Structure 1
Amino acid sequence: MYRNILCLALGLIIGIRLTDFFEYFQLTESQFGSTALTELDDEATPQLPTEEELARWLYNETRVLCMVLTMPKNHQTRVRKVKHTWGKRCNKLIFISSQEDHELGAIDVGVPEDRNNLYLKMRKALEFVYKNYAEDYDWFLKADDDTFVIMENLRFMLYPYDPEAALYFGHRFRTTFPQGYMSGGAGYVISRDALRRLNLFAFNNTRFCPINNMSEDRQIGFCLQNVGVVAGDSRDEEGRDRFLPMSLKIMLPNFPTDNWIHMLTFYEPVNETGSSSGISFHYVKNHEFEMYEFLLYRLRVFGTPWSQRSLPPRLEVKQMQNQLNYWSQENSTNPYPWLRQD
């Protein structure tokens, strides 16, 4: 009898503690998720996190390794600028070069510096990252040393997607193969599964991924397509580009629309100021790195703090598959109907 009473008492205690745990878990999820917040009582309602809190949380939730393509002559200029500005927000930062520098985090991939060797250099970088870091990070970003990346916006965009899905994002250009490819200058980000497919299947098959001296970004895009990696749509809800292959001035409304970007872009250009959730800018000059850093991370209208925000929902498996199927079908049709087809 006493044993039964003791078991009952222990069961009640454990049940109460489990209830407290699940209430805490639901509160934590509601703070960072996009679902409606549940009131704990009539007087207390959990608050959304500030953008600063959200950035810290996403840093651990959506882990990004950054690979920055550079060369020895830029180690003391651009490389240091990247390292002390946006690069410090990467979960892991690696500079891909032909000369090792432990202080800066530059590795020598054994490829001579030449513009015609950029594709081979990137292949070696992806092989190195796969061998050493494939299971430690979720996404793998490639950028140039004159690119500035807003890592918080990148993680925010990537959050809904499973890194075990075969997909990648960037600024899409059209070319001779259906899916197109992502601009190397604007930066492109590939999932863990895409990195795996490149190394296990593409790089070991010259038909899927031939070695040549064509442009790095186009060839990586060709290899990714041939092993089933889907090119995702990284534009915002208004159809505005978030990865910019040119400098910030392209976002201005009066920027000429007949430049080479608009001739190559995969989607119909939106003729208005660029996305408020922009991710990357290319052709950043040395003195502009600190300018971007100040404008983005220190300057505030009236000095106000960051506002509160919620995350977009995670995509369920079926939703993810539907999204990939949609993008795959989109890639197989005419992606630029506004151009006359000869």
Structure 2
Amino acid sequence: MYRNILCLALGLIIGIRVTDIFEFFQLTEAGLGSTVMTRIAEEATPQLPTEEELARQLYNETRVLCMVLTMPKNHITKAAKVKRTWGKRCNKLIFISSQEDKELGAIDVGIPEERENLYLKVRAGMKYVYKNFVEDYDWFLKADDDTFVIMENLRLLLYPYDPEAALYFGHRFRTTFPQGYMSGGAGYVMSRDALRRLNLFALNNTRFCPHNQSSEDKGIGFCLQNVGVVAGESRDEKGRDRFWPLSPHSMLPTFPNNTWLHKLTFFEPVKETGSSSGISFHYVKSHEFDRYEYLLYKLRVFGVPAAPRRLPLKLEPRQLQNQLQVWSEAKSNNPNPVLYDPEIQPG
């Protein structure tokens, strides 16, 4: 009889403890238990970095020197606006002028301020940049003081490419030589090796790089082609141009498609609005710099969050060589003939 009583007591004790344990897990399922499971899930699928974190990484890994053409009368207007807005996101910002301005960061390259001297002014600027900064930065951007550049998108384009490859990017125009050239107004960016080739082999050779070019962008494009620098592809996945030689309103669908720009562009323009990963636009008025700064960097639209993303993979040497080969063989598919001298068109 005592054995039966003992077994019954042990059974009751064990049952009560099992019930307590069961209730404990039920009560903590939404608390401690869920926390543990969440932590396990997070460790299994790590969070992607934010775009702000990626932009900081790009700033450190894809170093861009910005060389902006200006003139004394624009130092306190357009040039100052560049410095206060997009120019502050360059790894290094200098202005090429005919008058030194230490506060602005302007260099006097000794070329008189005449439109016909723009080519000589850019050549002098490229020599100065090469002499002082070629080993300190990866990419070298030339822009005008009425250009606005989205530096984060520029670095994202450049990131996969080795700066020791001979290439440059911009808005590509057709002309009489096969590769064409990049619009000066939209801005163009060259690799370290492209800048090196331009200075070591082109600027000192009048056969490769004549002195009598009236169009700076076409002249530099001719020099670069002659020393083996390849015109890279800067359009987005839908064929939309990222470097834009006109103001942003010209990206709207209502803009006419029979302008000088559409007739001169290397590839047939697609019938799309501007690229969502655009890099630059031109003909920016002084009062518009702050407007674009606000719209791009301060205004946020609720309900349209930026999706987490990763940076593109860097190209392996063989992949890069294959890509350069494809680009060097690219032909213009724009059916419109050039019926005018492209050198007299706005940059």
> 41-50 or 101-110, which moves further after superposition?
41-50
- Matches for 1:109-188 after TM superposition, within 5 Å: 109-188=109-188
Q: Relative to structure 2, which stretch is displaced further, 275-284 or 246-255?
A: 246-255
Q: Which runs of 5+ in 2 are unaligned?
A: 1-38, 340-347
SS in 1 for 2:154: helix
Q: CA deviation at 1:204?
A: 1.2
Written as runs of structure 1 = structure 2, the 5 A alignment for 1:21-100 is 42-44=41-43, 45-100=45-100
Over aligned residues, Cα RMSD in angstroms?
Answer: 1.7
Query: Are residue 233 (structure 1) and residue 233 (structure 2) matched?
Result: yes
Q: CA offset at residue 341 of structure 1? A: 10
Closer, same or farther: CA 224–213 of 1 in aligned 2, 3 Å: closer
Within 5 Å, which residues of 2 pair with 1:179-328? Answer: 179-302=179-302, 306-328=306-328
Question: What secondary structure, in the 3-state scheme, does the structure 2 residue paired with 1:207 have?
Answer: coil
Q: Give the AA of the match of 1:82.
A: V
**Matched residue of 1:76: which SS?**
helix
Taking the aligned partners of 1:66 and 1:43, their CA distance within structure 2 comes to 41
Q: Supply the distance in 1 between the matched residues of 2:224 and 2:124 (Cα, whole angstroms).
A: 15
Q: Does 1:338 align with 2:335?
A: yes
Question: Normalising by the residue count of structure 2, what TM-score does the alignment of the two structures yield?
Answer: 0.84
Q: How many residues align?
A: 300
% identical equivalent positions: 75
1:10-67 CA deviation, whole Å, 9 max, x = no partner? xxxxxxxxxxxxxxxxxxxxxxxxxxxxxx9654132111111111110000000000
Contact 2:263 2:336 survives alignment (8 Å): no
Contiguous gaps of at least 5 residues in structure 1? 1-39
Aligned 8 A contact 2:264 2:338 in 1: no
One-letter code aligned to 2:335: W
Partner of 1:329: 329
In the aligned structure 2, how far is the partner of 1:340 from the partner of 1:96? 35
Tell me the distance in 2 between the aligned counterparts of 1:89 and 1:305: 23
> d(CA) in 1 for partners of 2:267 and 2:154?
20
Q: Please state how far the C-alpha of 1:340 moved relative to its aligned partner.
A: 6.8
Q: Distance in 1 between matches of 2:125 and 2:251?
A: 31
Q: Bigger radius of gyration, 1 or 2?
A: 2
Task: Give the distance between the partners of 1:270 and 1:43, measured in 2 at CA.
Answer: 42
Deviations 1:307-332 (A, max 9, x none): 422111110000000000001111xx
Instruction: Report if the CA contact (8 A) 1:59-1:91 is conserved.
Output: yes
Deviation per residue, 1:271-310 (Å, 9 max, x gap): 1111000000100011110010000000011287654221
- Distance in 1 (alpha carbons) for counterparts of 2:305 and 2:90: 23
Change (3 A) 1:43 1:82: closer
Structure 1 CA distance, aligned partners of 2:337 and 2:257?
A: 17
Q: Tell me by how many angstroms 1:92 deviates.
A: 0.2
Rounded to whole Å, the distance in 1 between the matches of 2:259 and 2:304 is: 37
Query: TM-score, length-normalised on structure 1?
Result: 0.85
| Aligned residues of 2:96 and 2:109 also touching (Cα < 8 A) | yes
